[in-house]
Amino acid sequence: MAATQQDHDKNNEKRATRRFALRLPVTVRYEQKEQEHAAQTRDVSARGICFYVDSAIQAGSAIDFTLTLPPEITLTESIRVRCKGRVVRVEGGSPADKMAVAAVIEEYEFLADRQSAD
């Protein structure tokens, strides 16, 4: 019985980094469109993100997104981060009929804090 439980635990946990269940605003660009889409994160980790968005994004699509990590995560001050990634999974049926989009982070850069910009 112990071996069965261990196998079950290994199959259920595929993540290598800790995820933070955070509801943060995020701005997303995808599908070679210059238009930005407002979204909200479901969770964030060092290697990936899951967010809710109104319009569908195809798995495999390249995306760019920008979000601000709060002091609870950075342990200092809020930090804006611009990321590039790739969509790995899309799920429907989320809150308010939005799509849940999971993406792997391939590149990121920390942005200077510009309160007056944007």
pLDDT tens for each residue of the chain, 118 residues long: 444 444 434 444 455 678 889 999 999 998 766 788 999 999 999 899 999 998 878 999 999 999 999 998 889 999 999 999 999 999 986 667 899 999 999 999 999 865 544 4
Q: Which ranges of the chain does DSSP label H, i.e. alpha helix?
A: 2-12, 71-74
Q: What is the pTM of this model?
A: 0.76
Question: Considering the domain 18-111 in this protein, what is its CATH number?
Answer: 2.40.10.220
Question: What is the rounded end-to-end Cα distance, in angstroms, of the chain?
Answer: 57
Euclidean distance between CA atoms 101 and 34, whole angstroms? 19
Strand partners, 84: 64, 107
How many alpha carbons lie under 13 Å from residue 16 in its C-beta half-sphere? Answer: 4
Phi-psi region of 4 (alpha: psi -120 to 50; beta: other; left: phi over 0): alpha
Residue whose entry in the numeric block shows the structure tokens 């939005």? 98
Which helix (H) or strand (E) segment holds residue 74: the answer is: helix 71-74
